[in-house]
Amino acid sequence: MVGTIIINSVAPIRICDNGGWTDTWFAEHGKIFNIGVYPYVEAQIEVYPSNARDERIVLHAENFGDRYAIHAQDAKHEWVRHPLLEAAIEYVGVPDDLAVQISIYSEAPAGCSTGTSAAVSVALIGALDRLTSGRRTPLEVAYAAHRVETEMLGYQSGIQDQLCAAYGGINFIEMFQYPHAAVSPIHVPNAIWWELERRLALIFLGRSHSSSAVHEMVIRHLEDAGPDCRQLEDLRRTPELSRDAIYAGDFEALGQAMVSNTEAQRRLHPDLISKDAQQVIDIAREHGALGWKMNGAGGEGGSLTLLSGSSMSARRAMMREIEETNPLYQNIPIYLSRYGLRVWTLQNHD
């Protein structure tokens, strides 16, 4: 049996997060530049009358091949199988007179350090929001997704990933007091947009990124150093440089900002730029790349954003050498996302 109503939603992932680490509780205030890209996260909710299904809430985590019923009265505060999804469902809730099957799918590899978990939360909360009265704005969806991660699950999470998933596009984010921020979308002529899209590349290092003891040590150090310490100030400078470079169509200046941010990450702790990441950086430099950014907080696994020079053939040669150097390295095709969270509802006639 197929649902009488189908709710679809998509949200982009995030790359090139210059200024990351300054969007955190211990930084208190910060500036971040990031870019929303496809592949996106998809959520779909099939909606039925509550008496039409044996189980009222069924979750299908498609990437994991996992489908199971959620019993809210048993699961509260005991999210085990897919905590992020289960907590988001509890946060928004499903009206008692409805039964749903909720499917989640991401084309981006798990642990890619591109804000995928935030995009999952934003897409899911945006879709669930259609089941209730009233409508959350993109900003409200982003804050709700952040609360699920930090307050309900107790995870360490900055704010930028959720905001990028909600707004899409190229963003300059100013967090004036954690977690409150102003988002300024950066609008540029098509020629700059298309050229940026052509030059950017997302390289997955073949291993899922996860928080580590290195991250906990860095957090403790930054907490002790205070919100205005030099390390955080170095990171806060790169977003404005990135923003100004994009407006000017100056790709060399954008690349310099990316490199400066990566070196600022390295100064936080040398292990934030892994050996795999450094190998890719060295190859990119040899092929004339203008910039490179370790996505997310850095550390083992995850991914890098690369910004190539103007030569298309040099870019292709760079990609070939990266993938030939290590079979685990993977070029993930990306497209700049002109939109953030999108949600639409269909009457099902299948």
Q: Which two tokens stand for residue 316?
A: 């292709």
**3-state class (DSSP) for residue 26:** coil
Contact (Cβ atoms closer than 8 angstroms) between residue 15 and residue 291: no
DSSP secondary structure, 92-114, as one string = H---TTEEEEEEEEESSPTT-SS
pTM for this model (two decimals): 0.94
**Domain tally for the chain?**
1
**3-state class (DSSP) for residue 314:** helix
Radius of gyration of the chain (CA): 20
pLDDT tens figures, 86-136: 999 999 999 999 999 999 999 998 889 999 999 999 999 999 999 988 789
The pLDDT assigned to 75 comes to 47
- Whole-angstrom CA distances from 21 to 47, 156, 159 are 39, 11, 10
Residue numbers of the chain with a pLDDT score lower than 50: 1, 75
Q: Tell me, what amino acid is at 203?
A: I
Structural domain boundaries, residue 283: 5-347
pLDDT tens figures, 303-320: 999 999 999 999 999 999
Angle between helices 275-286 and 312-325 (to 10 degrees): 150
Q: What is the DSSP letter of 271?
A: G
d(CA 49, CA 287): 58
**3-state class (DSSP) for residue 18:** strand
The pLDDT assigned to 212 comes to 64
CATH number of the domain bearing residue 179 = 3.30.230.120
- Whole-angstrom CA distances from 341 to 11, 170, 337 are 5, 14, 10
